[in-house]
Amino acid sequence: MTAPAWLEVLNETLDACRTHGRADLAERLRRRRDAPEGQIRLGVLGFPKQGKGYLLNAVLNAPVCAVGDAPTPEVPTEIGYAPEPAATLVGRSLERTPVAVDRLTGELGARPAGTLSRVEVGVPRELLSAGLVLVDTPPVGDPRSPRTAAALDLLADADAVILVSDATAPLSAAELALARHVRTWCPHVVLALTKIDASPGWRAVAERDRGMLAEAGIDAPVLPVSAVVRQAAAKTGDAELNTRSGFPELLTWIAEQAARPPEQSRALLAAVGVRAAAAELVESLRDRVDTAAQDAGLGQAALLQRAQRRADDLRRQNTRWQNLLSDEITDLLGDVEYDLRERTRKIVTTIDQTFDEGDPAKVWDEFASWLDETLADAVETNYAWLAERAQWTAQAVAACFGAQYDRALPELPLDGSGIDRLDDVRRPKIEKFKIGQQAFTGLRGSYGGVLMFGLVTSLPWLGLPLINPVSLSAGAAFAVKTIRDEGGMRLQRRQAVAKQAAQRHVDDVFLRYSKEFRDGIRIVQRRLRDHFTGLAEDLADELTREREMIVAGTAERERKTGHIRREIDRLAGLHQRAGELGTIAGRKPRELSA
Amino acid sequence: MTQDVRDLLHAAAGLYRDDPRASAVLHDCLNRLEQPLRVGFTGAPSSGKTTLAAALGEWPTRALRDLVLLDDPGPADDLPDATVRLVRHLEPDELSAAHPPGGSAFARQSAVNSVLVLSRADEVGAGRIDALLTAKQLARRAWREDPLCTGFLGVIAVAGQLAYGGRSLRDDEFDLLAAFAAVPREELERHVLSVDSFTDPAFPGPIPVETRRSLVVRFGMFGVRLALTLIRTGCDDRVKLSAELLRRSGLGELRDTLAGCIVARAEALKARTAIIRLEALLAAQPRPGGDRLVSRVERFAAAAHDFRELRLIADIRGGRTALSGEPAGEAVRLLGAQGTSPADRLNLEPDADPGDIYDAGLDALRRWRHEAERPDRPHAERTAAHVVVRSTEGLLSLFA
Residues B216, A200: C-beta atoms closer than 8 Å: yes
* Secondary structure letter of residue A591 according to DSSP: P
* pLDDT score of A586: 44
Nearest to B193 among A139, A142, A197 (CB): A197
Nearest to A226 among B46, B88, B194 (CB): B194
Burial of B264 (0-12, 13-18, 19+ CB in 10 A): buried
Task: Tell me phi and psi for residue B36, to 5 degrees.
Answer: -65, 160
CA distances from B263 to B25, B43, B206 (A): 24, 21, 48
Q: Are A275 and A283 in contact (CB under 8 A)?
A: no
Q: How far apart are CA B244 and CA A407, in angstroms?
A: 88
B196 vs A: CB within 8 A: yes
Which distant-in-sequence residues (6+ apart) come within 8 Å of A18 by Cβ? A26
* pLDDT score of B99: 73
Q: Are B388 and B335 in contact (CB under 8 A)?
A: yes
Nearest to B217 by CA among A198, A203, A204: A198
Residues in chain A with CB shorter than 8 Å from the CB of B88 are 49
Residues in chain B with CB shorter than 8 Å from the CB of A197 are 127, 193-196, 221
For residue range B319-355, list pLDDT tens digits in order.
888 877 888 888 888 888 887 888 888 888 888 888 8
Nearest to A420 by CA among A380, A460, A469, A480: A380
Interface of B with A in 79-118 (CB under 8 A): 88-89, 91-93
Residues B193, A196: C-beta atoms closer than 8 Å: no
* pLDDT score of A1: 44
Q: How far apart are CA B93 and CA B73, in angstroms?
A: 22
Interface predicted TM-score (ipTM) of this complex, two decimals: 0.77
Interface of A with B (CB under 8 A): 48-49, 51, 54, 67-69, 139, 141-142, 168-169, 195-200, 202, 226-229, 232, 236, 238, 241, 244
* pLDDT score of A210: 94
Q: How far apart are CA A413 and CA B180, in angstroms?
A: 115
Name the closest residue on chain B to residue A143, using Cα atoms.
B93
For residue range B206-223, list pLDDT tens digits in order.
888 889 899 888 888 888
CA distances from A327 to A322, A324, A331, A537 (A): 9, 5, 6, 22
Nearest to A70 by CA among A136, A161, A134: A136
B214 vs A: CB within 8 A: no
For residue range B15-67, list pLDDT tens digits in order.
888 888 888 888 888 888 888 888 888 888 777 888 888 888 765 565 566 67
* Secondary structure letter of residue B339 according to DSSP: B
3-state SS string over A487-517?
A: HHHHHHHHHHHHHHHHHHHHHHHHHHHHHHH
The type of residue at B382 is R
Q: What global pTM score does this model have?
A: 0.66
**Alpha carbon of residue A451 to chain centroid:** 113
In angstroms, the first-to-last Cα distance of chain A is: 35
B185 vs A: CB within 8 A: no
For chain A, list residues with pLDDT below 50.
Answer: 1, 585-586, 594
Cα torsion A463, A465, A466, A469: sign: negative
Q: How far apart are CA B115 and CA B310, in angstroms?
A: 12
Nearest to B394 by CA among B297, B268, B274: B268
HSE (CB half, 13 Å, CA atoms) of B391? Answer: 32
Q: How far apart are CA A285 and CA A283, in angstroms?
A: 5
* pLDDT score of A594: 43
Least Cα separation, residue B123 to chain A (angstroms):
8
**Residue B69, Cβ neighbours under 10 Å: how many?**
20
* pLDDT score of A296: 63
Nearest to B190 among A69, A169, A232 (CB): A232
* pLDDT score of A114: 75
Residues B126, A228: C-beta atoms closer than 8 Å: yes
Q: Is A222 helix (H, G, I), strand (E, B) or coil?
A: strand
Q: How far apart are CA B227 and CA B179, in angstroms?
A: 12
Q: How far apart are CA A307 and CA A570, in angstroms?
A: 38
**Residue B391, Cβ neighbours under 10 Å: how many?**
25
* pLDDT score of A163: 92
Nearest to A241 among B190, B221, B222 (CB): B190
For chain B, list residues with pLDDT below 50.
Answer: none
User: What is the edge-to-edge ordering of all strands in the sheet holding B155-157?
Assistant: B67-71, B37-43, B82-87, B114-118, B155-157
Q: How far apart are CA B382 and CA B388, in angstroms?
A: 10
